[in-house]
Amino acid sequence: MKAQPTAAEADALYAEYGQPLEQQHEGKYAAITRQGRTVIAATVLTVADRADEEFGPEEPAFIFKIGGPSVYKWR
């Protein structure tokens, strides 16, 4: 089991993979894995479902509102 995520880790993931999405996708939600894999959707429930389908249980994702604060870690 991986260590629990820290706020610094979430901030770093968003800075690297989320911020570049802000111009095109502001207000949408992004699920971002520790490896940088990303899915984007209009609602938090949709992004969570898509992340579950695409990443599976082995690759947990952090969920962010693009252009906003972190929402929560999924799984």
Total number of domains in the chain: 1
2 within a domain of the structure (yes/no)? no
68 within a domain of the structure (yes/no)? yes
Distance separating alpha carbons of residues 14 and 30, to the nearest angstrom: 9
Residue-number span of the structural domain to which 48 is assigned = 7-74
Over residues 19-29, the pLDDT tens digits come to: 999 999 999 99
H-helix or E-strand spanning residue 74: strand 70-74
**Residue 49 CB-density burial (10 A; 0-12 exposed, 13-18 middle, 19+ buried):** middle
1 within a domain of the structure (yes/no)? no
Strand-strand pairing, 70-74 and 29-33: unpaired
32 within a domain of the structure (yes/no)? yes
- Give the pLDDT score at 2: 60
Single-letter residue type at 32: I
CB-based contact 63:47 (threshold 8 Å): yes
Q: pTM value?
A: 0.83
Over residues 54-70, the pLDDT tens digits come to: 999 888 899 999 986 55
